């Protein structure tokens, strides 16, 4: 074929690709036009996330609720997410231990459609280099807020600022003051990957704010008392910050539904016991133990997720254990003990909705299996330094799906999984069990196990014989095991190769 003929073929192919993309765009646009009004807003909102970004379903649900896309909150927003998934506009990445949606992504073409429609309808605007005012109600910044705060923009319509920077950005206090002072009608302020040392009192002027999230690496020491003025606030999240002081005035904020802050509650004004409490509070993580447990915890009867850091728990063990059984709606419980004091196993037997339990440091011993919540599906144990084999108890729990035995959770030399044990377990993660020499798995145990992760068992002599009978196993991950152990698993050569050759995905990382 002559060169000019090849050139014609190339032009024809290019034209077909362009026309094909155009047709795909038209089809996707029809999918968008077919959405009900409230779902259109939910779909356009996903354009705030960067390309290929894996976003958490609970975060998106709370943002939708704060924006007022639905009249009620969690249940309705979750229904919206499910419908967008069913319409193939969002892809599920991970599911929770009870089968719910944990994280999602959006395809690049659908994200492009979301962004273009959002700009067209003045729903959402992206990063700007111009001095022209933002006419949309929402401003999305992927390249930091410094550039934006340096512009003297008029933004009368702006209600929400969302910053999902790809790299950590240092933000000066005067820039945060400017953000607070410029937009008094704001509903959402979400700052991702920022570095800040002080949060301004001016935050209290944003009386319409419903959602406040600061996620980054910083030396923030306290939240200002003026936060109590945010009487419409539903979500407060200050992530990746240790030791922050939280004023006790948060108990006055009646609309609070989700609080995720690592730090201490500092008494200011009336004692917590003299205040009314946010009756709809559903999430409280990860507050250090203190006097507030006796005054408040048992009254937060609508809590679904509770995480307590118990570094100074010595004076509050009884109050904590007395309060937990009162939390009838609790679904997730995390307790972090201390190296100096061990805590008893929490009384969870009658918490019928509890499906997730995470215990870190200090556990005295595991109770009998009959003392666990009957619907518990995920259990994480770390740094408890148990000497008695935990499998003898845990394998009897009928609904376990995910078990994590993490660093120094067990210090014994032998572990046994009995026949018929763990009837529903599908994921098992175990790491840094420093003394374990032998793991026996009897035939018939863990018959539904799909994913097994083992790391840093330096004393384990051989791969357990019984696992070759677990035909459901699809993924095996071995990280930093001893060289003698991994040599036994070499394909077609190792003594234990026959035990794992039926597993489709085997990843062995060097010791």
Q: How far is CA 493 from CA 31, 51, 467, 508, in A?
A: 54, 44, 19, 15
Range of the domain at 62: 27-115
Above pLDDT 90, what percent of the chain? Answer: 50
111: CATH: 1.10.10.10
Residue where a domain stops, chosen among 115, 134, 165: 115
DSSP, res 460:
-
Let me know if residue 468 belongs to a domain: yes
Place of tokens 């909102």: 45
Let me know if residue 291 belongs to a domain: no
pLDDT tens-place string over residues 58-70: 999 999 999 988 7
Of 406, 405, 451, nearest in space to 425 by CA: 451
Let me know if residue 165 belongs to a domain: no
Give the long-range contacts of residues 243-248, CB within 8 A, separation 24 or more.
244/220, 245/221, 246/222, 246/287, 247/222, 247/223, 248/272, 248/275, 248/292
Q: What is the pLDDT of residue 122?
A: 87
Average pLDDT for the chain: 85
Q: Is the pLDDT of residue 482 over 80?
A: yes
Summarize the confidence of residues 296-303 as an average pLDDT.
90
Let me know if residue 281 belongs to a domain: no
Describe the crossing of helices 3-33 and 108-120 by its angle, rounded to 10 degrees: 60
Q: How far is CA 90 from CA 63, 114, 471, in A?
A: 16, 11, 32
Residue where a domain stops, chosen among 96, 115, 134: 115
Give the long-range contacts of residues 345-351, CB within 8 A, separation 24 or more.
345/371, 346/320, 346/321, 347/321, 347/371, 348/324, 348/372, 348/373, 348/376, 349/373, 350/325, 351/324, 351/325, 351/327
Q: What is the pLDDT of residue 434?
A: 94
Let me know if residue 470 belongs to a domain: yes
Residue where a domain stops, chosen among 93, 115, 137: 115
Q: What is the pLDDT of residue 13?
A: 44
How big is the chain, counted in residues?
511
- Starting at the edge strand that comes first in sequence, how are the strands of the sheet with 101-105 ordered? 55-56, 101-105, 91-95
pLDDT tens-place string over residues 318-370: 888 899 999 999 999 999 887 766 778 999 999 999 999 999 986 778 999 99
Let me know if residue 205 belongs to a domain: no
Describe the crossing of helices 37-45 and 74-86 by its angle, rounded to 10 degrees: 80
Answer whether 450's CB lies under 8 Å from 424's CB: no
Domains in the chain: how many in total?
2
* Range scoring the smallest mean pLDDT among 73-77, 82-86, 219-223: 73-77
Let me know if residue 271 belongs to a domain: no
Instruction: Say which residue, 186 or 41, is predicted with more confidence.
Output: 41
Report d(CA 322, CA 340) in Å as an integer.
Answer: 22
pLDDT tens-place string over residues 205-234: 889 999 999 887 666 788 889 999 999 999
Let me know if residue 225 belongs to a domain: no
């Amino acid at each position: 074929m002559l060169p000019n003929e090849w050139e014609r073929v190339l032009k024809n192919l290019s034209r077909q690709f362009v026309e094909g993309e155009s047709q795909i765009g038209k089809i996707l646009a029809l999918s968008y036009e077919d959405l009900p009004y409230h779902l259109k807003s939910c779909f356009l909102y996903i354009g705030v996330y960067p390309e290929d970004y894996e976003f958490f379903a609970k975060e998106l649900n709370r943002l939708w609720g704060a924006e007022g896309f639905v009249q009620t909150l969690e249940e309705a927003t979750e229904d919206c997410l499910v419908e967008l998934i069913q319409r193939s506009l969002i892809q599920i990445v991970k599911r929770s231990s009870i089968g719910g949606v944990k994280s999602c992504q959006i395809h690049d073409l659908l994200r492009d459609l979301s962004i273009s429609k959002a700009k067209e309808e003045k729903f959402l605007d992206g990063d700007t280099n111009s001095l022209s005012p933002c006419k949309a109600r929402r401003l999305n910044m992927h390249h930091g807020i410094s550039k934006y705060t340096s512009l003297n923009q008029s933004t009368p319509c702006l209600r929400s600022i969302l910053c999902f920077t790809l790299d950590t950005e240092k933000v000066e206090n005067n820039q945060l003051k400017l953000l607070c002072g410029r937009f008094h009608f704001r509903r959402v302020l979400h700052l991702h990957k920022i570095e800040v040392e002080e949060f301004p009192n001016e935050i209290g002027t944003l009386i319409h704010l419903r959602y406040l999230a600061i996620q980054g690496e910083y030396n923030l020491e306290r939240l200002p008392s003026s936060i109590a003025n945010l009487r419409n606030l539903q979500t407060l999240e200050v992530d990746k910050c240790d030791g922050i002081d939280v004023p006790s005035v948060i108990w006055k904020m009646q609309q609070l539904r989700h609080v995720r802050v690592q730090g201490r509650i500092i008494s200011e004004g009336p004692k917590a016991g003299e205040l009314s409490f946010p009756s709809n509070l559903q999430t409280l993580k990860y507050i250090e133990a203190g006097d507030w447990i006796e005054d408040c915890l048992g009254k937060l009867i609508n809590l679904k997720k509770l995480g307590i850091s118990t570094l100074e728990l010595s004076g509050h063990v009884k109050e904590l254990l007395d309060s937990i059984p009162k939390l009838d709606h609790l679904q997730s419980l995390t307790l972090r003990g201390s190296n100096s004091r061990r805590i008893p196993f929490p009384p969870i037997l009658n918490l019928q909705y509890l499906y997730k339990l995470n215990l870190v440091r200090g556990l005295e011993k595991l109770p009998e299996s009959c003392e666990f919540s009957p619907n518990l599906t995920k259990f994480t144990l770390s740094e408890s330094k148990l000497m008695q084999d935990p499998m003898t108890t845990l394998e009897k729990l009928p609904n376990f799906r995910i078990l994590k035995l993490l660093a120094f959770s067990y210090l014994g030399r032998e572990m046994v999984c009995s026949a018929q044990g763990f009837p529903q377990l599908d994921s098992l993660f175990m790491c840094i069990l420093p003394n374990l020499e032998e793991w026996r798995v009897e035939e018939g145990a863990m018959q539904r196990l799909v994913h097994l992760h083992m790391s840093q068992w330096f004393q384990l002599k051989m791969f357990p014989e019984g696992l070759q009978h677990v035909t459901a196993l699809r993924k095996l991950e071995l990280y930093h095991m001893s060289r003698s152990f991994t040599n036994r698993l070499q394909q077609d050569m190792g003594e234990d190769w026959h035990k794992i050759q039926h597993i489709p995905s085997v990843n062995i990382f060097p010791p």
